[in-house]
A and B are shown apart, each in its own frame.
Chain A
Amino acid sequence: MAVSKFTWLRGLGYRGGGPMLAWLLHRLGGLAMIIFVGMHIFAGFLMQQFGSDFGTTLNIFYESTIFQIILYFFVYFHAINGLRIIILDIWPKLLEYQRELIWLQWLIILPLYGLSVFLSIQNLLTGG
C-alpha cells in the first residue's frame, strides 16, 4: 500500500505555511462541495419527482444555518483560491509573490465570509 500511517504524521509536521494551508483547504472545500452539490441534486430529484420525505430531510439538513456557515467558507475559499491559482498559472512570474497573494486573498475572503455569516445568523434569528 502506498499509504502508511506515518505519512500522515510527517505531513502534519511539515511546515508549509500559507501555501500548504491553501492547498489543504482547497481540497477539503472541494470535497465539501461535492458532498453538498451531490446531496442537493438527489434531494431535488427525489422531491421534484416523488415528493419524497427523504428528499425533504436532506433539504432541512443542508438548509440548516450551521451547514451553510461551513459551506460558505469553503465556497468562498475555493472560488478565490482557485482564481489565484489560475492567475498564477497564466502569469508564472507572479509566483514570486505567492505568499503576498495568499494574504491578499484572505483579505478578500474574510470580509465576504463575515458578511455572509452575519446575514445567515440574522436570517436565523429573525426567522426570515
Chain B
Amino acid sequence: MRARTVPQPGWSFEYLMWIFTRISGLSLLFMGFIGLVSALLLGARTQMDLPTLVRWTFFQNPNHVVNSNIADVTIGWSNAYWQIIQMLMIFFGVSHGFNGLRVILEDFIGHTILQPLTRGGIFLIWLFTMMVSIYVILAS
C-alpha cells in the first residue's frame, strides 16, 4: 500500500465521491431511524419480536415483517412510500459500499493500468446489483 497522489483542488471525481460518502452515510442512519420510528408508530411493539423490528429498521421491505403477528402487511407496511424509501436506501447503500470498495482497492493498486479496469468492473457490478435489487423491491 502507498499514499495516493492528491489531484488539484476543485470539483474532482474524488471530491464528489468524498461528499457523496458523507451524505449517503448520514442518509442511511437517518432512514434507519425513520424506519424504526415508523414501525413503532405502526404498532410494532405488540405485533413483532425484536429481531423482526431490527430487520425492518435496516431495510423496510415487507418480507422482513411478514412472519410476525401483523394481520395484513399491505396496510401500512407495504406501499409505494416504502418502495421509494427502499430504492433510495438501496441507491445510497450500494453506491456507498461499492465506492468504498473502489477506494480500498485503489489504495493497493495505485496509478497503473489496473485502476481504470477496476473502476469499470466495479461500475458494472454496481449497475447489476442496482438492477437486481430494484427488481426485488418492485416484485416484493
Contacts and interface: CB of A to CB of B under 8 A. Distances in A.
B139 A2 contact: no
Interface in A79-128: 79, 82-83, 86, 89, 119, 123, 128
Nearest to B22: A86
Contact of A2 (B97, B112, B132, B135): B112
Given A2-B109, A34-B98, A83-B29, A7 B1 contact: yes
B132 A42 contact: yes
Contacts of A2: 1-2, 108-110, 112
Main secondary structure on B side of the interface with A: helix
Given A2-B2, A83-B29, A41 B129 contact: yes
Nearest to B111: A2
B140 interface: yes
Contacts of A119: 50-51
Interface residues of B, number: 28
A31 B104 contact: yes
A38 interface: yes
Question: In terms of DSSP, what is the predominant structure of the interface of chain A?
Answer: helix
Interface in A19-77: 27, 30-31, 33-34, 37-38, 41-42, 44-45, 48-49
B101 interface: yes
18 contacts: A2-B2, A27-B104, A30-B97, A30-B101, A31-B104, A34-B98, A34-B100, A37-B93, A41-B136, A44-B140, A45-B136, A48-B136, A48-B140, A79-B29, A83-B25, A86-B22, A86-B26, A128-B51
Interface of B: 1-2, 22, 25-26, 29, 49-51, 63, 93-94, 97-98, 100-101, 104, 108-110, 112, 129, 132-133, 135-136, 139-140
Given A7-B2, A89-B22, 12 more contacts: A2-B2, A2-B108, A37-B97, A41-B133, A42-B132, A48-B63, A48-B140, A79-B29, A83-B25, A119-B51, A123-B51, A128-B51
